[in-house]
Amino acid sequence: MIKLVDVHKSYGKQKVLDGLNLAIEAGKTTVIIGRSGGGKSVLLKHIIGLIKPDSGHVLIEESDITRLSEKDLNEVRKKFGMLFQEAALFDSMTVGENVAFPLREQTKLKDQEIRQIVADRLRAVGLSGVEEKMPSELSGGMRKRVGLARAIALHPRIVLFDEPTTGLDPVMTEAINQLIMDTQKNFNLTCVVISHDIQSIFRIGHKIAMLYEGRIIEYGTPEEIRASDNPVMRQFLSGSVDGPIKVT
Amino acid sequence: MKPFSASLDYVGRTVMHYVEEMGRIMTLFFSILFWMMRPPLKARNIFKQMEFVGVKSIFVVVLTGLFTGMVMTLQGYHGFRLFGAETMVGSTVALGMTRELGPVLTSLMVTARAGSAMAAELGTMRVTEQIDALYVMAANPIKHLIVPRVIASVLMVPLLTVVANFVGIAGSYFVGVNLLNINEGDFINNIYKMLELNDIYSGLVKAAFFGLVLSVVGCYKGFNTTGGAEGVGRATTQAVVISSITILVSDYFLTAIMF
Amino acid sequence: MGSITTEAKVGLFILIGMLLLGYMTMQVGQRGVGIKKGYNVDVVFDNVAGLNKYSSVQIAGVEVGRVEDILLKDGKALVRLRITPSVTLEKDVSAAIKTRGVLGDKYIEITPGTRGMAALEPGEQIRNVERQADIDRLLNQISAIADDVKTVSGTLSNVLGGQAGQDSIGGLLENMQALTRNINSLVVSNEATIRSMLLNAQELTNNLNRVVVQNDDKVGEVIENLRGASREMEKTFASFSQIADEVNRGEGTIGQLMKDNTTITNLNKTLASLQEVSDKINQGKGTLGKLVNDEETVNNLNQSLSGINRYVTKAEQFRTFLGYRGEYLWDKSNFKSYLDIKIQPKQDQFYLLGLVSDPRGRLTVRDYTPTGNVTTRTEEWDKSGLLFNVQIGKRFRNVVLRGGILESTGGFGMDYMALNDRLKLTFEAFDFSSDRNAHLKGYADVQLFKYLYLTGGWDDFISNRGNSSGFVGFSIRFEDDDLKYLLTSTPIPK
């Protein structure tokens, strides 16, 4: 489904991705974990073509998006939905207009039908009837759910989540996790989730990948990850200060 | 010798930085032109920006134009009276307003009001990943965010200039004829005698160009914001400074070309 | 505040701005006319120091134009003036450079020529130039003239020497005296009549000339016909002479008649009474006589001549234009066409008749609520597509207001003309109905070549039926002369 082959990316002298290889399976939820500022968001943006790698290939269903023109890239992007860290709702638009935005851009549906779909998606994330509110009137959790509704508005096959539970209370975290799992199952999605919330990753991930120093150092099912004897993995899971990961 | 080469290095790097920035602004300008040609343009977005840039700037532009016209009349009167030519005040103000002050002051006010807001708005959208979200939804941000702002500014700044010109001359008339007792007929006739259609039109051409400058620079600065809230503030300040300087400098060259 | 839409606010602002611009340019334009419009006349001065481009040109202190250009030609200054169209300069006007005011601004003063003299055509040169006396040159010229006079008088004395010369000259002079006296009395008694007749005749020939030039082919045809007719006449004359021969020989009825003496007596009598009639006519007796000798007749003739003149001038004023206009609406991907006839009886007034083909058609929406409270909404596109334009318009300087039927609905439009009519900004509003927003349209026309215009704008831009679309296109507009003469041959109200 999604394949990253030998991807390099550096900003100035700092190597963020250093020969990264990763294959993401279709119809599953893959969680990518790693240190804060360790290049997880950069990795995610490579998958959707927001950032082009210095070298290497990003294959989405066999097409190498690093070589596509803007126009062809947009065709590929129509398969994607993405939930941003702070939801990235357009604050000049109402919630309804936000969710309707991809529909208006990519389809020729009538107003009536668009309203129908918007109501439907908002119901799917448990937020019926907030169409007329402005994003600034919503709480963090609600914004994320609206962001999810917008991400799945066009029935994408792949949804990317950039730290969906960061900054939420435990109850809301659980609600969002539940929502991701339900959505994944109901729409049969391929999900890529970035997180460093240990509890969540084991709950939602079918597969887990550990990003460390620009490469994937561990990849497997939650059980395999839990049983891993890689010292970096162990330190990350236990949250200890001592170990190969240096706190600077 | 060390400080000398260091300062040379600094100068070189600064110059390169500005050249590079100019190049990037031009690149953005060409992609704006490119996306402008791509239908469909959303009329609603353009109208919204026209309201923001045009309608909401009327008040400040009227005030600016009015007081500029009045002050110029007051100042000019004392000078012209020395050799008994106070009836020339009106035409001086009218020429000054239509050719220079109308377009320049209007666009400076719009820069401060709308140009800065464009930079701040786009900057916020950049740092909260809203611009990335547009890309992800296969919607080009230049077309969605920048093109309507540029079109609105190019159309609205000349229109605001017309308002400023009119109000400025009206203010001049009020001060000159009602307060300073300049002969009304001579005052008006001198305006007619000196002012030509070309003065008005060339002022409007300038205004359209300034509208282009302030919107492209404002959007460029906002669009390329980095570094969170602080970055947004920096982008806003730079947008106003660069736009204002560009307007004042290009005004000189436009005047040199046109007259 | 909530009820005023963004579009309405922006629209209102644009309207106010355009009105202010229109007002200012109209006020300023009044002065500008003297420079932008009008015709060129050249004048050559020896020295134009102090005269500038745009200096004033005045007649009796009234500004009638400006200096458009100053060029050097053969060591002299060629000054090109632009004169307001309403002012005509006679061929014998004279020009001079004068000074005004403390600062010594130079301007050109034109002294009017003889009234009734032919006018200077655009591009011609003013011949009479007043210049400051230059004593040296004056003296030189006087001595040259004196030499000439001496030669002439020498020759004269040679010719006139001797008795024969004197006699013949005496006779010559007497004759001339008599002749001039006669001519003089003739001219004096009929001076006014002759002058007005001459003027009218001149005007008529001018106008006829124009008509003839425009109808060259037809004239050729007429001449061809005349030639044919004369050939026929020749034949007729031939048979006449044959008849005359027969008459002479006394053959045929007429011949016998002619040979008879009584006939001749009768004929003589007839001729005598004819003589009487013609005498009476000469003396002004009887109707015909009065007619021929009466001054009124001449006046009537004059009047009818000026009537013809007026008629021809009317046809000149009356103008018709044909226009085609195509707009490509890119949001709808279709082409809208306009075909117009603009009839312009006066410079500032016109009627516009036109057809519009709109492939998109017109959307009608009907709500139908049967008893069961279920509303069905039917949307119909009326694709028949042919719409009509019938408008009346008037022009006020740079602004044209027009109204009537636009695209088969009531509406009005406004044009703003700039850059000598090469740029036209148009706003139209029509189709005001309660269930949808009015149809508003704004566009700009730019003249590319003589007949070809480029156009672009936004059609139906506040549509709530999704009809809004930008467009680009072109239009062709030209004046039609044949149609003009067709239309003026029907009576026109004055």
Q: Which residues of B touch A101 (CB under 8 A)?
A: 137, 139
Please tell me the predicted confidence (pLDDT) of residue C262: 66
Instruction: Round to whole Å and give the CA distance between A94 and B65.
Output: 37
Residue C323, pLDDT > 70, answer yes
CA-based nearest residue in chain A for residue B144: A105
Report the residue from B121, B133, B138 with minimal CB separation from A84. Answer: B133
B40 lies within 8 A of chain C by CB: yes
Query: Do the Cβ atoms of A84 and B137 come within 8 Å?
Result: no
For chain B, what are the domain ranges? 39-258
Query: Do the Cβ atoms of A77 and B135 come within 8 Å?
Result: yes
CA-based nearest residue in chain B for residue A93: B45
Q: Which residues of B touch C21 (CB under 8 A)?
A: 162, 200, 204
Please tell me the predicted confidence (pLDDT) of residue B116: 94
* Preferred mutation among B137, B142, B145, B226 to probe A, highest tally of A CBs within 10 A: B137
Subunits adjacent to chain B (3 or more Cβ pairs under 8 Å) = A, C
Decide: residue B198, CB within 10 A, 0-12 exposed, 13-18 middle, 19+ buried: middle
Of C195 and C18, the structure prediction assigns the larger pLDDT to C18
Q: Given pLDDT bands bounded at 50, 70 and 90, which one contains residue C34? A: very low
Subunits adjacent to chain A (3 or more Cβ pairs under 8 Å) = B
Query: Do the Cβ atoms of B159 and C468 come within 8 Å?
Result: no
Question: Is the four-CA dihedral C302, C306, C312, C316 of positive or negative sign?
Answer: positive
Please tell me the predicted confidence (pLDDT) of residue C240: 66
**Other CB atoms within 10 A of residue C251 CB:** 13
Please tell me the predicted confidence (pLDDT) of residue C142: 73
Please tell me the predicted confidence (pLDDT) of residue B208: 94
Q: Which of C81-95, C275-289, C468-482 has the lowest mean pLDDT?
A: C275-289
Q: Which of B189-198, C155-164, C361-370, C422-431 has the lowest mean pLDDT?
A: C361-370
Closest-CA distance, B181 to chain C, in angstroms, reads 23
Calculate what percentage of chain B has a pLDDT beyond 90.
51
Using one digit for the tens of pLDDT, what is the confidence trace for C46-64? 888 777 777 788 888 888 8
Find the mean pLDDT for residues A152-157. Answer: 86
Closest-CA distance, B8 to chain C, in angstroms, reads 51
**Which residues of A touch chain B, with CB atoms under 8 Å apart?**
45, 48-50, 70, 74-75, 77-78, 80-82, 84-86, 88-92, 101-102, 105-106
Q: Which of A131-135, C9-13, C98-102 has the lowest mean pLDDT?
A: C98-102
CA-based nearest residue in chain A for residue B139: A105
Residue B173, pLDDT > 70, answer yes
Find the mean pLDDT for residues B117-128. Answer: 92
Q: Are strands A80-83 and A158-162 parallel, antiparallel or unpaired?
A: parallel
Please tell me the predicted confidence (pLDDT) of residue A121: 86
Q: Is B68 helix (H, G, I), strand (E, B) or coil?
A: helix
Q: Given pLDDT bands bounded at 50, 70 and 90, which one contains residue C280? A: low
pTM of full prediction above 0.80: no
Closest-CA distance, B81 to chain C, in angstroms, reads 17
Please tell me the predicted confidence (pLDDT) of residue C103: 54
Residue C234, pLDDT > 80, answer no
Query: Do the Cβ atoms of B40 and C6 come within 8 Å?
Result: no
Give every CB contact of residue A147 below 8 A, 6+ residues apart in sequence.
A83, A84, A87, A88, A89
**How many inter-chain contacts (B to C, CB under 8 Å) are there?**
66
Using one digit for the tens of pLDDT, what is the confidence trace for C398-418? 888 998 888 888 889 999 888
Using one digit for the tens of pLDDT, what is the confidence trace for B131-167? 989 888 888 888 889 999 999 999 999 999 999 999 9
Find the mean pLDDT for residues A33-54. Answer: 85
Please tell me the predicted confidence (pLDDT) of residue B220: 94
CA-based nearest residue in chain B for residue A84: B129
- Residue carrying structure tokens 């391929």: A190
Of C367 and A167, the structure prediction assigns the larger pLDDT to A167
Residue C101, pLDDT > 70, answer no
Q: Which residues of B touch C17 (CB under 8 A)?
A: 159-160, 162-163
Closest-CA distance, B231 to chain C, in angstroms, reads 31
C331 lies within 8 A of chain B by CB: yes
Find the mean pLDDT for residues C369-383. Answer: 61
Query: Do the Cβ atoms of B160 and C30 come within 8 Å?
Result: no
Instruction: Round to whole Å and give the CA distance between C480 and C123.
Output: 27
Residue B47, pLDDT > 70, answer yes
Please tell me the predicted confidence (pLDDT) of residue B164: 94
**Token pair of B43 as six digits:** 């009329």
Q: Which residues of C touch B42 (CB under 8 A)?
A: none
Integer angstrom CA distances of residue B90 from B173, B175, B176, C308: 7, 10, 7, 52
**How many inter-chain contacts (A to B, CB under 8 Å) are there?**
46
Report the residue from B41, B163, B200 with minimal CB separation from C28. Answer: B200
- Judge contact between C492 and C314, C-beta under 8 A: yes
Of A49 and C278, the structure prediction assigns the larger pLDDT to A49
Residue A199, pLDDT > 60, answer yes
Residue B243, pLDDT > 90, answer yes
Report the residue from A77, A86, A91 with minimal CB separation from B136. Answer: A77
Find the mean pLDDT for residues C213-240. Answer: 69
Buried b (16+ CB within 10 A) or exposed e, A167-203: ebeeebbebbbebbeebbeeeebbbbbbbbbeebbeb
Please tell me the predicted confidence (pLDDT) of residue B205: 92
Instruction: Round to whole Å and give the CA distance between C279 and B184.
Output: 77
Q: Which of A76-85, A105-114, C289-298 has the lowest mean pLDDT?
A: C289-298
- SS3 string, chain C, reads CCCCCHHHHHHHHHHHHHHHHHHHHHHHHHHHHHHHCCEEEEEEECCCCCCCCCCEEEECCEEEEEEEEEEEECCEEEEEEEECCCCCCECCCEEEEEEECCCCEEEEEEECCCCCCCECCCCCEECEECCCCCHHHHHHHHHHHHHHHHHHHHHHHHHHCCHHHHHHHHHHHHHHHHHHHHHHHHHHHCHHHHHHHHHHHHHHHHHHHHHHHHCHHHHHHHHHHHHHHHHHHHHHHHHHHHHHHHHHCCCHHHHHHHHCHHHHHHHHHHHHHHHHHHHHHHHCCHHHHHHHHCHHHHHHHHHHHHHHHHHHHHHHHCEEEEEEEEEEECCCCEEEEEEEEEEEEECCEEEEEEEEECCCCEEEEEEECCCCCCCEEEEEEECCCEEEEEEEEEEECCEEEEEEEECCEEEEEEEEEECCCCEEEEEEEECCECCECCEEEEEEEEECCCCEEEEEEEECCCCCCCCCEEEEEEEEEEECHHHHHHHHCCCCCC
Query: Do the Cβ atoms of B138 and A74 come within 8 Å?
Result: yes
Find the mean pLDDT for residues B185-193. Answer: 80
**DSSP 8-state assignment for residue B177:** I
Residue C32, pLDDT > 50, answer no
B162 lies within 8 A of chain C by CB: yes
Q: Which residues of B touch C36 (CB under 8 A)?
A: 197
Calculate what percentage of chain C has a pLDDT beyond 70.
63
Q: Given pLDDT bands bounded at 50, 70 and 90, which one contains residue C494? A: very low
Find the mean pLDDT for residues C286-295. Answer: 58
Find the mean pLDDT for residues A157-183. Answer: 86
Instruction: Round to whole Å and give the CA distance between C242 and C254.
Output: 13
Q: Which residues of B touch C14 (CB under 8 A)?
A: 159
C6 lies within 8 A of chain B by CB: yes
Find the mean pLDDT for residues A194-201. Answer: 83
**Other CB atoms within 10 A of residue B166 CB:** 24
Residue C274, pLDDT > 90, answer no
Q: Specify the long-range contacts of residues C476-482, CB closer than 8 Å, at least 24 apart.
A: C476/C323, C476/C324, C476/C325, C476/C451, C476/C452, C477/C321, C477/C322, C477/C323, C477/C324, C477/C451, C477/C453, C478/C321, C478/C322, C478/C323, C478/C451, C479/C319, C479/C320, C479/C321, C479/C322, C480/C320, C480/C321, C480/C322, C481/C214
B193 lies within 8 A of chain C by CB: yes
CA–chain centroid gap for B27, Å, is 21
Residue B248, pLDDT > 90, answer yes
Report the residue from A82, A86, A91 with minimal CB separation from B136. Answer: A82
- Helix locations, B37-146, DSSP H: 43-53, 58-81, 89-96, 102-110, 116-127, 130-136, 141
Query: Do the Cβ atoms of B129 and A89 come within 8 Å?
Result: no
Instruction: Round to whole Å and give the CA distance between C249 and C259.
Output: 9
DSSP β-bridge partners for residue C44: C78
Please tell me the predicted confidence (pLDDT) of residue B160: 94
Please tell me the predicted confidence (pLDDT) of residue C493: 43
* Preferred mutation among A42, A76, A105, A192 to probe B, highest tally of B CBs within 10 A: A105
On the question of a cis peptide bond just before residue B40, with omega within 30 degrees of 0, the verdict is yes
Query: Do the Cβ atoms of A88 and B128 come within 8 Å?
Result: yes
- Judge contact between A32 and A209, C-beta under 8 A: yes
